[in-house]
Amino acid sequence: MRAQFQTREFEDRFIAIGLPYRIVGGFRFYERAEIRDALAYLRLVNQPADDLAFERIVNQPKRGLGDKALAKVQMLARAQNCPLSLAAARILDTDELTPQARRALGGFIGDLARWRDMANTRPHHELARQILDESGYTAMLQADKSAESAGRLENLSELARAMEDYETLGAFLEHVSLVMDNEAASDGAKLTMMTIHAAKGLEFERTFLAGWEEGVFPSQRSLDEGGLASLEEERRLAYVAITRARRKCTILHAANRRIYGQWTSSLPSRFVAELPPEHVEQESSFGGGESLWRANWAQNSDPFAHVARSTGRGPGWQRASADFSTQPTRIVEARTSAVGLGNKGRSDLSIGQRVFHEKFGYGLIAEIEGNKLEIDFDQAGRKRLLDTFVKLA
């Protein structure tokens, strides 16, 4: 539960393990208009006889095809008992349409044929991006100056990333069908997903708060645009989220997160440092040591003065569970943020030294700030990492 959240990976996982769920205060990922449009393109490329997909995107974005032109295509399809896409191809050889409509429909049918040929040789996630670009759909959203357009573009990028996990376009579309059938699959108990805003005024026995990392929550965009005022609003939302739990609240963050196709090291949210340690239990998926959260509390609490380093192998996650069976303590201002981590860093590293990272390869240390490094990698460019995740070259 976050102020704004991406549901797709949660939904995919819940479907895989057979866990019924529902979303409150928002659309499920595959129900959003831009995702439905993109899926219609993909379905029509995969199966030309999909009339519902054809009707949805034949004029989306606008191609100059009016209702009269589309009605003639539908009339021909009924008369010849054939799919709409085939009727559209056949009507191009007649004078039924105006020259403008014939050009627009001919271009669309030609694109479908070309994309269908490319589907045999091109990775399907790359094909999806190409279809959205060449169809004009991406440009349509880029020209939209509304507040929602940026999020819609990000949703389409997330869709392409999701497709990478499936061997074929058909396998991915079959998975989407399973996700879409989830809502009607069970009328019994379901896990509830919602944003923090949607959770205001509600209480639950247990809550799970995901994505509590610097740059995600609090959002780096909010901090850049609104400064301290935005930070205080994010802090208030953190308090709202935590206090939705009657007995137990579990907070999770990833040590490495994939952003725009690249893995990036993450730090726990500064709001974690503001939790009273006497109410918190912590776990980690790392095999090499204790949670980075202990380091985050190091300057504020003597019992956590020891700083342990994790191995950094794999994406990894850490979580803390706050027990609210006793009266919760109000969040207070921390003296240090999670960015600092209270760690002076490794003594065997220096500026200009060559190091190796399992994901980004070899690079030179450009800057050192405590246990944080700015590294110029040979292939991946400059990255900001914790010194835990690099080795001497």
Q: Cβ-count burial of 52 within 10 angstroms (0-12 exposed, 13-18 middle, 19+ buried)?
A: exposed
53 and 88 part of one domain: yes
Confidence of residue 97 (pLDDT cuts 50, 70, 90): confident
Q: Is residue 217 part of a domain?
A: yes
The answer, yes or no, to whether residue 291 has pLDDT greater than 90, is: no
Q: Is residue 334 part of a domain?
A: no
| 328-346 confidence digits (pLDDT tens) | 333 333 333 333 333 467 8
Residue where a domain stops, chosen among 125, 145, 180 = 180
176 and 281 part of one domain: no
Question: For 104-119, what is the mean pLDDT?
Answer: 93
E-strand stretches of the chain: 21-24, 191-194, 204-209, 245-254, 256-259, 262-265, 280-284, 317-323, 354-357, 361-369, 372-377, 381-386, 391-392
Q: Is residue 346 part of a domain?
A: no
| 368-393 confidence digits (pLDDT tens) | 887 778 999 998 899 877 787 788 98
Q: Is residue 119 part of a domain?
A: yes
308 and 365 part of one domain: no
pLDDT at 14: 82
Decide if 363 contacts 378 (C-beta within 8 A). Answer: yes
CA 220 to chain centre: 15
Confidence of residue 289 (pLDDT cuts 50, 70, 90): very low
The answer, yes or no, to whether residue 327 has pLDDT greater than 60, is: no
Q: Is residue 3 part of a domain?
A: no
Among 277, 256, 259, smallest CA distance to 267 is for: 256
113 and 229 part of one domain: no
Please tell me which residue, 259 or 364, carries the higher pLDDT value.
364
What is the Cα Rg of the chain in Å? 26
Query: Count of domains in the chain?
Result: 3
pLDDT at 137: 94
pLDDT at 201: 86
Please tell me which residue, 252 or 264, carries the higher pLDDT value.
252
46 and 91 part of one domain: yes
- Which stretch of 187-196, 230-239, 346-355 has the lowest confidence by average pLDDT? 187-196
The answer, yes or no, to whether residue 303 has pLDDT greater than 50, is: no
One-letter amino acid at 130 equals: Q
Q: What is the mean pLDDT of the chain?
A: 79
Decide if 53 contacts 43 (C-beta within 8 A). Answer: yes
Residue where a domain stops, chosen among 148, 180, 212 = 180
Question: Any idea what the CATH number is for the domain that residue 217 is in?
Answer: 3.40.50.300
131 and 222 part of one domain: no
Q: Is residue 70 part of a domain?
A: yes
Confidence of residue 53 (pLDDT cuts 50, 70, 90): very high
Phi, psi of 24 (to 5 degrees): -110, 135
Q: Cβ-count burial of 91 within 10 angstroms (0-12 exposed, 13-18 middle, 19+ buried)?
A: buried
The answer, yes or no, to whether residue 74 has pLDDT greater than 50, is: yes
pLDDT at 2: 43
289 and 240 part of one domain: yes
Please tell me which residue, 313 or 105, carries the higher pLDDT value.
105
Which residue's entry shows tokens 């919760």? 328
Parent domain of 257:
200-323
The answer, yes or no, to whether residue 263 has pLDDT greater than 90, is: no
Question: For 278-297, what is the mean pLDDT?
Answer: 58
Q: Is residue 330 part of a domain?
A: no
Question: For 108-119, what is the mean pLDDT?
Answer: 93
157 and 81 part of one domain: yes
One-letter amino acid at 326 equals: T
pLDDT at 186: 57
> CB count, 10 Å around CB of 13?
11
Confidence of residue 25 (pLDDT cuts 50, 70, 90): low
Residue 26, CA distances (Å) to 7, 31, 40, 99, 341 in order = 10, 10, 21, 43, 35
Question: Any idea what the CATH number is for the domain that residue 40 is in?
Answer: 1.10.486.10
Question: For 254-271, what is the mean pLDDT?
Answer: 78
Residue where a domain stops, chosen among 152, 180, 208 = 180
Q: Is residue 112 part of a domain?
A: yes
Question: For 82-106, what is the mean pLDDT?
Answer: 90
174 and 233 part of one domain: no
pLDDT at 47: 93
361 and 221 part of one domain: no
255 and 379 part of one domain: no
The answer, yes or no, to whether residue 302 has pLDDT greater than 70, is: no
145 and 269 part of one domain: no
